[in-house]
Amino acid sequence: MVDLIGQYQEIKNEVKERFEEILDTAMFINGPAVKQFERNLSQYLSVDHTIACANGTDALQIALMALGLKPGDEVIVPAFTYVATTEVIALLGLTPVMVDVDPKTFNTTADLIKPLITEKTKAIVPVHLFGQCSEMAPIMALAQNHHLYVIEDNAQAIGADYSGGASSQKAGTIGHIGTTSFFPAKNLGCYGDGGAIFTNDDDLNQKIRMVANHGQSKRYHHAVVGVNSRLDSLQAAVLDIKLKYLDDYAKARNIVASKYDDAFENIEELSTPVRSKNSTHVFHQYTLKMTNGRRDEMIQYLNAQDIPCGIYYPIPLYKQGAFEKYVDSSFELPVTEELCKSVFSLPIHTEMTDEIQDYIIHHVKIFCNS
């Protein structure tokens, strides 16, 4: 699905140089490389604070912990997302309230969220799925009216520009807190695990840093129960190098996406990804809908041609054993149901050659004509 080896070849010398510096100084943890990356990422995103941590799941958990929510508090979260988003809510004893998504953008909306708000609701966690920012302005307005926190799960849309507000903002910097993941296959990926948390709120910044560092207010003083979640210097160095190319990476992904669009737009049983009105797309995934019920056959056919493809996501989260206690057995969200049955994602990355993409397109077309 991604070509991490090809991408590495392009930045090999820079990476080796930075690694050597770190190896020579042995500042693996809390070294200057992490601070430098946090500063550069804050600047890129135009956000006041970036707090690096161990992975994207931790980032979500720490964000929720910093808000001081209590067991039983309700957190509204899309049912069509990666498990991590919902998992951390349940892990902290909070109650996930699952909301449907828009059939075109795959993101949830203020209109879908609004009827689910109760007096127990404390936060909303919109997910910017596949590379586009959710329609945030109405979500923020709704949250403000009901005094709710908004945590953006931005693991898939780092670098996307949202233009629905008064001025253009980067995805992940609009809510009270934003989170991301630097898992290798993400748009900004390191060579192991990593994550980060963003906020413009000085008070939340302090709480987040404290929670991520054993709840420590100053050395050996632990004001709250926290966790140990750090990004290490080697990962920070890789990310700092790749950050310089993040916009170029997004451009390369968009070129691949446009070529897929052109190839598939006249195929009746395929719906190509719809571009949101107010967000650029960074194409973490190129996700099609197969509307004639033959999605699983398509996957089998493509796999048989050595074409990897993914289903993000095959099972609604309310149908997972981990979360079934939060819903009635008959609970269903219509769009999530439809998407889990019809979506599939084709390889998209920064090193895609015309030859490989032509091969993929050729076989998608062959299957559709069969």
Interaction site with ligand PLP (CB under 6 A): 55-57, 81-82, 84-85, 127, 153, 155-156, 181, 183, 193, 195
Please, which residue, 56 or 175, has the CB nearer to ligand PLP? Answer: 56
Among residues 282, 186, 198, which one has the least CA distance to residue 238?
Answer: 186
Please, which residue, 52 or 127, has the CB nearer to ligand PLP? Answer: 127
Please, which residue, 155 or 339, has the CB nearer to ligand PLP? Answer: 155
- Min CB(262)–ligand PLP separation in Å: 27
- Min CB(66)–ligand PLP separation in Å: 17
SS3 label, residue 217:
strand
- Beta-bridged to residue 55, according to DSSP, are none
- Min CB(141)–ligand PLP separation in Å: 23
- Min CB(179)–ligand PLP separation in Å: 8
Please, which residue, 131 or 164, has the CB nearer to ligand PLP? Answer: 131
Q: Measure the CA–CA gap between 66 and 267, rounded to whole angstroms.
A: 48
- For residue 181, give both structure tokens: 């993941």
Residue nearest to ligand PLP (CB): 56
Q: Report whether 1 contacts 285 (CB < 8 A).
A: no
Counting every residue written for the chain, the total comes to: 370
- Min CB(131)–ligand PLP separation in Å: 10
Q: Report whether 197 contacts 229 (CB < 8 A).
A: no
Please, which residue, 33 or 54, has the CB nearer to ligand PLP? Answer: 54
Please, which residue, 82 or 344, has the CB nearer to ligand PLP? Answer: 82
The dihedral region occupied by 163, where left means phi > 0, alpha psi between -120 and 50, and beta the remainder, is alpha
Among residues 55, 83, 351, 283, which one has the least CA distance to residue 182?
Answer: 55
Cα-based distances in Å from 222 to 66, 208, 210: 14, 13, 9
- Min CB(121)–ligand PLP separation in Å: 21
Q: Measure the CA–CA gap between 265 and 148, rounded to whole angstroms.
A: 40
